[in-house]
Chain A
Amino acid sequence: MKPRQKRFVYIVVALVAVGLAVALVLNALKDNVSLYFTPTQVYNKEAPEGRSFRIGGLVEEGSVKRENDGLTVNFVITDLHKSLPVVYKGILPDLFKEGKGVVAQGKMEADGLMHADEVLAKHDENYMAPEAADALKKAEVANAAAASAPASSPVAE
Chain B
Amino acid sequence: MVDKGADQKGATQAAVARLRRSRWLLAAAVAAVLAVYAFGGFSIYVPLLGLALLVAAAMLPADVERQSADDAAAIEAGGLQRLSGEYLAAAVADPLIIFDRTAAIVHANAAAFAAFGGLAPGMSLSLKFRAPEMQALLDGIVSGAVASDVVDYTEKLPVERTYRVSASSVGHATDLYVLVFKDQSEARRIDRMRADFIANASHELRTPLASIAGFIETLRGPARGDPAARDQFLQIMQNQTGRMARLIDDLLSLSRLEMKPYLRPGTEVDLRQTIDSVIDSLEPLASENGVVIERDFIDGPLSVPGDRDELFQVFENLLENACKYGQSGGRVTVSIAGSEDGQEAGIDVTIRDYGPGIAEEHIPRITERFYRVDVENSRTQKGTGLGLSIVKHILTRHNARLSIKSEVGKGAAFTVHLPAS
Note whether A and B form a binding pair.
Answer: no
